[in-house]
Structure 1
């Protein structure tokens, strides 16, 4: 049997088999028709990567309530998806893939069976009935969405260089399938200490890729995301180069005028091209990016599926950047770190989502194309966010929340918030709404503010000025540094950005997951923020869509989605760009959902979408243009975020075709492209 030191542990209890994800501290239970006697088997018996596996004999096995189930052939091809129905399968070898608290596979060895599920609008159990007693292997892989180990690193660049390859030990499979976030896992933590200490459980990948860079914090921080994704060894050198074990070498300078630009370009291209190659792998689905790009590549993507990483890179390096540029997913943000040992501890959290890294003072050859900017230290520019290890750690412990169960505290807020919230809220596909959410309002007294920040609210806004002394409540001053138990998800404070930002940073250090400091914010804008947030938008984007006109800055990983849409969908965005007063091109942006990282595929269903599946973070032009009447009708449906020539539609009133034409004329009169809100 497995032990608690492994990512996955199995435990038999009579007719029950408990599968425990020790990294995520989640358990799911299978129930058999009789007592089980599991036997440890090799994980290599599975086509798909698993952390551990056991086999059992039974004639019936009931799976716990799950979000989805696929039956695959011995070769891994999907032969059926069985949501709440009865379906029989002839004798053979099959994999039953189940979406649960961890990734589970049942391997059926030469047996016939029937799957019996109950119709349900949500997760439901399924029973596997075998024609006769059969041996079944149960394999499990941890979701690994948090660090499972810690590497101690002294304050020496050489030690960091030696540790960097081990951050990739979390990757489950060194094929193009690692472009799926569920096959990467969260890198181990980095912790400063007196001596280098790499746990024995961590392994150094051997992918045949080496990155040679100067042994400085600046260079090492910059190449860390690329080294992580390629599983590269990192060696000291005067000039940055990429080396492959087939003898090929290439200077980073060929891909950008600065090391940061070159690293970002290589990483984006590798991840994107891997996502095209994997279409012939575990999950086959049509994507608009594939249809647009694959035919112009110098290789046929599926043919590289079984190639080594160096072999794939040899082909990828031949692809012109201009071919890929229109279809690449956006980076959610770009991080600027100090070339100092203190910022090393941020790296694992940045690598987990392939955040491009720059170093303070480094030459910037090109403007950032990331949606947001993040900094590890003051001063934090307006609109940017301050990163801290504490904020990331608190986010690891933040459970997904639904709009219906959200708890919001509004302290000192005027009228108009709820009307603005209701105007922009986008209902979830299952019909769920925010109306069951708890929204408490009170005067900003010291006791009320302290209670709100320490009572597990998902969102707390305090409309009270902040000075160097703290939050000026109606009956006294509350110093955030005196709070011992901050448990709010998102904190919102107002005041001069220097003072309000400092107070916000203290709240994040003491327990908040993220937050915003605003010079001021109207009740209307605050309502729009809440409406977008409860609709399932990333927090920072909720603010950007809210017409928040005054200065603000963030703290924490604000590009994530705190609210889960109940139907599992992601929030769509329709971007209309006028090409004539009565002709408007449609672009569809696919946003990330809760827990969605780069490489995720999201589905968008709309009559204007060519292919419903696309990579999260992409914004893709659709072939049909719309008239002003069609744009107005579509916006009136209110099932998406709509941005018309750079202006988010707030639904304060009905938008008419005349309004659409007026927007087009203004945009066409302006020689610059409206990118502000997109």
Structure 2
């Protein structure tokens, strides 16, 4: 049986634009600021095409007559016949020919991209480019869909736990399928947003799908928060009860435990169900060779072909019959654990955490004094070259307040939801995510503003000037400023710009300017989307930018030593320029200097400034054994390539897919093979002997 395409409609019909220029067709996602260029040989003028002619939903579609479509990079291309049967997957160094017929090609670009061809064609790929060639010019249809996903509605709920549980029960309405393909991020829609009010109000049509699964938990906000991602993923209703259980309509029940065991068991069930869905889905729309299936198949007694066609409730029962210890070594490292205060003020953050499929913990953390926050920076100064800090000449006192240090987990990233200031985790606020939803579309260049407001810090400005906009395949507009007055900086902060890199003195009560301090809390609006405030104690001003309209940024909690700030700032610039999201970029960069622990992300840590080649940012670790070189890859998911996406390392013979979160399979190779592979990833971060270097700029033989 050929699986049917998932239900659901396009994300935003205004999000996609096609731009013609000579022999180039640029496909632009105006909301997510993503662009992909197709070269069309001997192409005629384009005309609108019917969206209904595509098997999968598209936002916009055009038709053009051409003989050749050239892609600027090698991406996965899935070829299906007119019945939807997948005929081939084409990747690097592949060459495939298809006889006369009707075909649908799915191109794994920064947006969902589809090509309809009626007639014979060939696909060829080398190490860096792909070509789709027709024997003679013919009409082809090209459709695209943004990966941007908006909540369908807003639910109003009181602070009563049972009302919150009823609201969470409607989260599953956003799932675009209840088949195992729900493990693909593009088939998990954004849950409806929540707002607090005087009574529960759920818009008509927002209800959990009929999965035959329900979850029973004690009626407390803590229990409701913890179970929200699992309820969403299972499409389950949440009901109050004396104990925590999962029930199915067939009579199966699974205990979720109590106390600390409750959070651990909910996390385990979420990870196990998601992981086994990823394996089972290889029997469906995308019958690919998955590394994780190879690894797990001999350890579990599951018939994945039969499971694919079972109901969600039956699949869940089968999945939970497998001891977690059998699958745990193969479950991908989770993207995010969020430590959520059980206060009612956390209610409005739930949909955004659920959209990330975050593991939610209620606080088990220690509170830290503001003096304790300064300790690491002072120690870094004493160990460093002693060239001073980025504190203003007339510094105000260190701000007082509650600092919290959440318990470390095994997720790649950590966030904190609560009124306190976190150490070792990002500070997530619902305002930042609402700012992102309100972001207006733009098809222009990626706009970056660099401000250096102290001539003694010009070293960092010079370093980042060489980084931003260095990717030839993407259009950038980089605007430098220096020694700004308060009015000049006000204009910069109020102007629409994708990213601001600020270098200079900052105090809790304002940015140090040539003629005094500018307090961002006094501005009418903020036009900056994302930012790095690389100065001492920039947390308060960063939060003011979020409150004024920004989406996310990186700030400091304490004084930072100038030499360390230069190293952190230049490293962050390179990572952000390569498409790393804010939170992932900081996780990598802060290991480069002791003062890295003084930096945190505020707002939406999943915000990316630029798109990344290949869809998923990768960090490479290289080490040498007695007989070979070992290459480890750490994959960091993004808001558009969430957990459950795939990557295909082109190493060795054959093409095997891997899930895209955390450490990927270890590869052994010779130095020549390693250098040839890294040549395909110019500018990518590589960790060699605890030092971060960059592909295309380093001679690995010098390290071994």
Shorter-chain TM band: 0.7 to 0.9
CA offsets, 1:619-655, max 9 Å, x none?
Answer: 133252667x987897798553212354433689856
- Separation in 2 of the partners of 1:196 and 1:621? 47
Please point out which of 239, 242, 248 is paired with 2:243. Answer: 239
* SS of aligned partner of 1:620: strand
- RCO (CA 8 Å, sep 6+): is it higher in 1 or 2? 2
Relative distance call for 1:647 and 1:240 in structure 2 (3 A) is: farther
Please point out which of 187, 210, 215 is paired with 1:211. Answer: 215
Relative distance call for 1:209 and 1:22 in structure 2 (3 A) is: farther
Relative distance call for 1:603 and 1:399 in structure 2 (3 A) is: farther
1:442 aligns with 2:486: no
* SS of aligned partner of 2:289: coil
Structure 2's unaligned 5+ residue stretches are 1-8, 15-28, 35-43, 367-404
- 8 Å CA contact retained: 2:170, 2:237: no
Task: Compute the TM-score of the two structures, normalised by the length of structure 2.
Answer: 0.73
- Separation in 2 of the partners of 1:123 and 1:202? 43
Question: Which residue is 2:631 aligned to?
Answer: 586
Deviation at 1:226, TM superposition (A): 0.2
Question: Which residue is 1:544 aligned to?
Answer: 587
- Separation in 1 of the partners of 2:691 and 2:282? 36
Out of 525-534 and 396-405, give the one that drifted further.
Answer: 396-405
Deviation at 1:214, TM superposition (A): 0.6
Relative distance call for 1:426 and 1:494 in structure 2 (3 A) is: closer
Out of 241-250 and 545-554, give the one that drifted further.
Answer: 545-554
* SS of aligned partner of 1:258: helix
Please point out which of 520, 539, 544 is paired with 1:506. Answer: 544
Please point out which of 362, 379, 382 is paired with 2:423. Answer: 382
Structure 1's unaligned 5+ residue stretches are 11-20, 27-31, 132-136, 661-678
Residue correspondence of structure 1 range 70-85 to structure 2 within 5 A:
70-73=78-81, 76-79=84-87
Question: Which residue is 1:185 aligned to?
Answer: 189
Residue correspondence of structure 1 range 339-378 to structure 2 within 5 A:
339-361=342-364, 367-378=408-419
CA offsets, 1:100-145, max 9 Å, x none?
Answer: 998698999xxx75679999999999999999xxxxx999988561
Out of 143-152 and 616-625, give the one that drifted further.
Answer: 616-625
Relative distance call for 1:457 and 1:188 in structure 2 (3 A) is: same
Relative distance call for 1:277 and 1:427 in structure 2 (3 A) is: farther
Question: Which residue is 1:669 aligned to?
Answer: none
Please point out which of 560, 563, 567 is paired with 1:524. Answer: 567
* SS of aligned partner of 1:530: helix
Question: Which residue is 2:517 aligned to?
Answer: 477
1:198 aligns with 2:202: yes
CA offsets, 1:525-572, max 9 Å, x none?
Answer: 31121011101222233233332432122201224433103x544332
- 8 Å CA contact retained: 2:216, 2:243: yes
Question: Which residue is 1:134 aligned to?
Answer: none
- Separation in 2 of the partners of 1:592 and 1:215? 33
1:328 aligns with 2:339: no
Please point out which of 596, 600, 614 is paired with 2:645. Answer: 600
Deviation at 1:219, TM superposition (A): 0.2
Residue correspondence of structure 1 range 119-268 to structure 2 within 5 A:
145-253=149-257, 257-268=260-271
- Separation in 2 of the partners of 1:408 and 1:365? 33
Relative distance call for 1:480 and 1:424 in structure 2 (3 A) is: closer
Deviation at 1:433, TM superposition (A): 6.9
- Separation in 1 of the partners of 2:518 and 2:578? 32
Deviation at 1:336, TM superposition (A): 1.7
Out of 227-236 and 240-249, give the one that drifted further.
Answer: 240-249
Deviation at 1:424, TM superposition (A): 8.2
- Separation in 1 of the partners of 2:588 and 2:60? 47
- 8 Å CA contact retained: 1:411, 1:449: no
Question: Which residue is 1:572 aligned to?
Answer: 618
- 8 Å CA contact retained: 1:460, 1:492: yes
- Separation in 2 of the partners of 1:113 and 1:344? 54
Q: CA RMSD in A?
A: 5.2
* SS of aligned partner of 2:554: strand
Relative distance call for 1:610 and 1:53 in structure 2 (3 A) is: closer
Q: How many residues get paired?
A: 622
* SS of aligned partner of 2:222: helix
Relative distance call for 1:382 and 1:403 in structure 2 (3 A) is: farther
- Separation in 2 of the partners of 1:325 and 1:590? 18
- Separation in 1 of the partners of 2:291 and 2:480? 44
- Separation in 2 of the partners of 1:365 and 1:419? 36
Residue correspondence of structure 1 range 401-440 to structure 2 within 5 A:
405-412=446-453, 414-417=457-460, 420-421=463-464, 432=473, 437-440=477-480
Deviation at 1:153, TM superposition (A): 1.0
- 8 Å CA contact retained: 1:420, 1:525: no
Deviation at 1:389, TM superposition (A): 1.2
1:299 aligns with 2:325: no
- 8 Å CA contact retained: 1:423, 1:652: no
Deviation at 1:439, TM superposition (A): 4.2
Task: Compute the TM-score of the two structures, normalised by the length of structure 1.
Answer: 0.76
Question: Which residue is 1:664 aligned to?
Answer: none
- 8 Å CA contact retained: 1:534, 1:563: yes
- Separation in 1 of the partners of 2:443 and 2:115? 31
Question: Which residue is 2:687 aligned to?
Answer: 643
Deviation at 1:36, TM superposition (A): 11
- 8 Å CA contact retained: 1:504, 1:515: yes
1:461 aligns with 2:504: no
- 8 Å CA contact retained: 1:9, 1:22: no
- 8 Å CA contact retained: 2:682, 2:696: no
CA offsets, 1:158-197, max 9 Å, x none?
Answer: 1111121211111111110111111111111111122211
- 8 Å CA contact retained: 1:415, 1:523: no
Please point out which of 578, 584, 606 is paired with 1:535. Answer: 578
- Separation in 2 of the partners of 1:125 and 1:449? 49
